[in-house]
Amino acid sequence: MSIELNHIIVWAKDKWQSAQFLARILGLDAGLQWGNFVPIRTSNGSRSTMLTHRSLAISDSEFDAALARIRDAGIEFYADFDRTGRGAINHLYGGRGVYFYDPNGHLLELITRPCGAKPEKWSERKSAAD
């Protein structure tokens, strides 16, 4: 059996608000409450039950749809984790990425290429408005 992430438990002031926020951005559904948790099931079976930072690898079309939802909701987004590149995305590893915060202040990252997919120096990254 290969090793894969099964779940992450994330502290939140309002678990339903955080779960529904992330589910809405990703075009998924927040699951039924399980114990004290509200799960969001991803396609590989991992569950995020709403850590400070989460990075989700998604397809180009899913990225386009999620970015449109972020923009439509008026959510501030950034090219970099340190809040630089406001209103821009990055193109690390030949893909696209964006950072934004959920209502409880957790940093979320959407990427189309996994970190390390292609050797690239941090200083060589490119940001763009879309």
What pLDDT is attached to residue 66?
96
Digit-coded pLDDT (tens) for 48-79: 554 467 788 899 999 999 999 999 999 999 99
Percent of the chain at pLDDT exceeding 90: 33
Percent of the chain with pLDDT over 70: 75
Q: Outline where the chain has alpha helix (H).
A: 15-26, 60-72
Dihedrals φ, ψ of 54, to 5°? -130, 135
Cα dihedral angle (17, 79, 48, 66), rounded to 10 degrees?
70
Is the model more confident about 68 or about 107?
68
Smallest CA-to-CA distance from 48 within 11, 73, 13, 14 is with 11
Q: Which fold has domain 7-128?
A: 2,3-Dihydroxybiphenyl 1,2-Dioxygenase; domain 1 (3.10.180)
- The mean per-residue pLDDT over the stretch 77-95 comes to 92
Average pLDDT, the chain: 80
